[in-house]
Amino acid sequence: MSTPGLLAPLGDIPSDKFRRQLYELADWIGEYRAKICNRAIAPSVEAGAILRALPTHPPETAEPFESIWNDFERIVLPGIVHWGHPQFMGYFGSTTTGPGILAEMIAAALNVNAMTWRTSPAATELETVVLRWLREWLGLPEIFEGVVYDTASISTLHALAAAREQAAPTVRESGLSGRDLPTFRLYTSDQAHSSVEKAAITLGVGEQNVRRVPSDSAFRMDMSGLKLFVEEDLRRGFKPLAVVATVGTTSSASVDPVAAIARFCRAHGIWLHIDAAYGGGLALLPEAAWIRQGWAEADSFVINPHKMLFVPFDFSALYVRDISRLRRVFALVPDYLSGDSARAAIDYMDYGVQLGRRFRAIKAWFVWRSFGREGIASRIREHLRLAKLFAQWLEKDGRFEILAPVMMGVVCFRPAGYSEEGCRALVDALNDNGETYLTLTRLHGVVAVRLGLGNVLTTEEHVHNVWEIVRKAIR
Ligand SMILES: Cc1ncc(COP(=O)(O)O)c(C=O)c1O
């Protein structure tokens, strides 16, 4: 408790002090990035240890920056997984970059809310600019307009909300319960991301109404399976709502036959949502133009530039063909915002559930200008080369099975003869030594060790180090 009569100073911390702290932090971040290689990637902490080391009760009085910093270095940092480490090869290589870090600092300093154009015109217009740049890189027609959210799960949720609005326009007003509505069905492959089920749960479609279409031997949605499911559902009186096709599946980065799926959706009047959260970035490579087949026919399209396009987490872009279909679901202006809205063509609060919105566009703007399309494409191309090289080493060694075609920066493999438990133990042992970080997945029932590349700092030397670690760890 503070002594009565002795008031704590008000306002922010003094600006000269803040400036000193900023310089110190700048040095620390610079050093952290430069020497990240020397750190153990994953911490060796027991669950609950960090919780126990931190005070249970909130601070009653002000604490000096030095003691907060000490606790950060002593307790928090040792519990961090260093995703930015060039030998972190888990999940998708979500990476930060110098310009991305700088832009995040600017966004924190400005701390604007990009809910309407009026609440920060530049935040809205910069968002429109980076969305248009990205649309051009993706080769999507101008009929597609976008919005930035945090994650692909949220993008897909909004896309499917627009699909539901189109299929049942009265739901916005009257809701779902107690109504005589058809049972909606969603279709996606058995390799698709679980965000489709999350959307079905949230939208009242129901998890059991997501039909998982079998995938072929290369983990792509099987067209005959899709047709079979839809025809069967139509006969039984269900209403097909949307097909979610994936470009770059989570497990193996496989690519669904989007062009054929698009033709099928058009013929049946079914909404097509493309989940290109990871794989969409490949479109920046002229030699990968094949990947864009069918995209122009979609109703909605999601890409996470924080997965392949070097924008730091989080940043997801949703594009909708005729964006008014999205606005129809979500535009709603409360009285207290009526003076601020509709001053310009775009108020991004009308494009989704959330009102308050971070100024995410600035980091994409900084990163993409710093690297240019050419620089981004070269880095992606190098990651593809490294993934293929790793697969060649596996092949040459002769003791490994490669479990999926290497389409992007992902390699799925297992040591021949290893059981599920064997693979689990292998990955635990590899990750425990702090020099690499791999994950597991399951492909048609078979457990696979999975390596994901995409970190801007990863070089051939790092990939080779990981190969040596893997090679020496197997029996
Ligand atoms: C293909 C695909 N779609 C969607 C998602 C969900 O992404 P987010 O974490 O941005 O919600 C992922 C996650 O890795 C993914 O791989």
Q: What is the dihedral of CA 266, 271, 272, 278, to 10 degrees?
A: 170
Measured in residues, the chain has a length of: 475
Cβ atoms of residues 303 and 277 within 8 Å: yes
| Tens digits of residue pLDDT in 406-452 | 999 999 999 999 999 999 999 999 999 999 999 999 999 999 999 99
Which run of H or of E encompasses 59?
A: none
Report which DSSP code applies to 255: B
* Distance (Å) of CA 193 to CA 134, 199, 212, 428: 23, 11, 11, 24
Q: Per the structure block, which two tokens stand in for 301?
A: 């399209």
Is there an atom of ligand 1 within 6 Å of 304 CB?
yes
Is there an atom of ligand 1 within 6 Å of 152 CB?
yes
Domains of the chain in sequence order:
16-42+81-96+372-475 (3.90.1150.10), 47-77 (no CATH), 113-358 (3.40.640.10)
pLDDT(260) > 90 = yes
Looking at per-residue pLDDT, the higher value among 471 and 340 belongs to: 471
Instruction: Check residue 193 and give its pLDDT.
Output: 97
Is there an atom of ligand 1 within 6 Å of 250 CB?
yes
Hey, what long-range contacts does 214-218 have (CB within 8 A, 24 or more apart)? 214/189, 214/190, 215/189, 215/190, 215/191, 215/254, 215/444, 218/254, 218/404, 218/405
**CA angle, 371 then 467 then 32, to 5°:** 45
Cα 189 to averaged position of ligand 1 atoms, centre (Å): 14
Ligand 1 atom at shortest distance from the alpha carbon of 153: 11
Residue 189's SS3 state is: strand
Q: Per the structure block, which two tokens stand in for 138?
A: 């993706």
Query: Could you give the residue ranges of the DSSP H alpha helices within 139-222?
Result: 152-167, 171-174, 195-202
Say which range, 129-133, 175-179, 256-260, 366-370, has the weakest mean pLDDT. 175-179
Query: If you average pLDDT over residues 137-144, what whole number do you get?
Result: 98
Report which DSSP code applies to 192: S
Which run of H or of E encompasses 244?
A: strand 239-246
**Beta partners for 411?**
451
* Distance (Å) of CA 297 to CA 141, 301, 305: 9, 10, 21
pLDDT(141) > 80 = yes
Query: If you average pLDDT over residues 100-106, what whole number do you get?
Result: 98
Instruction: Check residue 223 and give its pLDDT.
Output: 98
Closest Cα to atom 9 of ligand 1: 151
Cβ atoms of residues 85 and 37 within 8 Å: yes
Ligand 1 atom at shortest distance from the alpha carbon of 279: 1
Instruction: Check residue 1 and give its pLDDT.
Output: 47
Q: Per the structure block, which two tokens stand in for 336?
A: 């207290």
Is there an atom of ligand 1 within 6 Å of 157 CB?
no
pLDDT(6) > 80 = no
Query: If you average pLDDT over residues 168-196, what whole number do you get?
Result: 93
**Beta partners for 446?**
443
Per-chain mean pLDDT for the chain = 95
Is there an atom of ligand 1 within 6 Å of 400 CB?
no
pLDDT(3) > 60 = no
Distance from C-alpha of 279 to C-alpha of 112, rounded to nearest angstrom = 31
Instruction: Check residue 165 and give its pLDDT.
Output: 94
Cβ atoms of residues 443 and 217 within 8 Å: no
Ligand 1 atom at shortest distance from the alpha carbon of 91: 14
User: What SS3 string covers 92-110?
Assistant: CCCCCCHHHHHHHHHHHHH
| Tens digits of residue pLDDT in 33-59 | 999 999 999 998 899 999 999 999 999
Pocket test for ligand 1, best of 83, 194, 195 (most atoms within 8 A of CB): 195
Which run of H or of E encompasses 246?
A: strand 239-246
Instruction: Check residue 38 and give its pLDDT.
Output: 96
